[in-house]
Amino acid sequence: MRVLGIETSCDETGIALYDSQQGLVGHALHSQIAVHAEYGGVVPELASRDHVRKVLPLIRQVLRGTGFGAEQIDGVAYTTGPGLVGALLVGSAIGRSLAWAWGVPAIGVHHMEGHLLAPMLEAEPPPFPFVAMLVSGGHTQLVLVEGIGRYQVLGESLDDAAGEAFDKTAKLLGLPYPGGPELAQLAQQGDPGRYRFPRPMTDRPGLDFSFSGLKTFALNTLQAARREEGEMVSRQTLADIARAFEDAVVDTLRIKCRRAVRQSGVSTLVMAGGVSANQRLRAAIGAMMQKEGGLAYYPRPEFCTDNGAMIAYAGWQRLRAGQSEPLRFSAQPRWLMETLQPV
């Protein structure tokens, strides 16, 4: 069974083709960084228009690259939510229309389920059950995963997600868009002993997160540095603040993951989403799981951010189980993972 995957939830257009016998046979990704950079963040209308321009050319590119024609596609999967409603409607409309024209079933995929299953694309996928930490620009969640569609959210962010906090703090420091990777790069030059930021909500029971206070703490630290050094603080001071912020986020996520693993009694941890590409976070989670006697799994960096491969794989799992969409399409900007049907 070959499934075409379409991802258009935010600011990246991802297309992929997954084959049940060969695995992932082709994928392509278009980033909208250049489109949104001058605005310092994603502009929803511009994102939607760029998806309209890019989806069909990328589908043609992937099909040419794999050598398969439309008549050899057995199903179409597309992101239905959560995400930007206009961007979601682009992928949903095109994906459902292609499925109708080709006479094959279609399935709307939950964006975060795609991230959660992205490590399944690797040569050694994680076994069920596992605890998943989903860390992206819009979501920070700990999920107990007993099987596909069998999810229990253990904890989530009560305000800013980790990736959102990275981006907002980077903007405070004057770093270019997208801020998260820029902040992580700057933090490599920082002195870890100069500043210490709080580890929010780690001094109380529970598995929820809160990162908005770290952003405020970073602003207050920057303002104090400006009073000492003048309006143009040194590059080293900015790097020291970035390092303290990153250390606080990484340590908070590590503490919460350890707590979730111990409480659930599950010795396998999956980390996915854009922030899971952070090297310091990967090292911390890997070391923690080794101490706990368990294993940590991650998707390769190119599949940490939004991509069509994870949507094609998640869609294949549901299509092969007999699930499909009627002849209509929709977008769900907000969509709880617990409402998904099990496979």
Q: Which residues are annotated as a binding site?
A: 111, 115, 134-138, 167, 180, 278, 306
Return the closest-CA partner of residue 113 out of 341, 343, 337: 337
What's the rounded Cα separation, in Å, for the pair 266 and 46?
A: 43
Q: Which residues are annotated as a binding site for substrate?
A: 134-138, 167, 180, 278
Report CA-CA distances (Å) from 338 to 148, 164, 259, 267, 274. 11, 23, 21, 22, 21
What's the rounded Cα separation, in Å, for the pair 150 and 211?
A: 28
Q: Which residues are annotated as a binding site for Fe cation?
A: 111, 115, 306
With the CA atoms of 285, 287, 291 and 292 taken in that order, what torsion angle do they form, in degrees rounded to the nearest 10?
Answer: 20
Q: Are strands 2-7 and 12-19 parallel, antiparallel or unpaired?
A: antiparallel
CB 320 within 8 Å of CB 18: no
**DSSP secondary structure letters along 128-192:** SSEEEEEESSS-EEEEEEEETTEEEEEEEBSSS-HHHHHHHHHHHTTPPSSHHHHHHHHHTTS-T
CB 107 within 8 Å of CB 246: no
Q: Which amino acid is at 252?
A: T
CB 256 within 8 Å of CB 271: no
**DSSP secondary structure letters along 51-69:** HHHHHHHHHHHHHHHHT--
Q: What tokens appear for 157 in the block?
A: 């962010």
Return the closest-CA partner of residue 46 out of 58, 56, 59, 32: 32
Return the closest-CA partner of residue 92 out of 313, 266, 337, 331: 331
What's the rounded Cα separation, in Å, for the pair 290 and 299?
A: 18
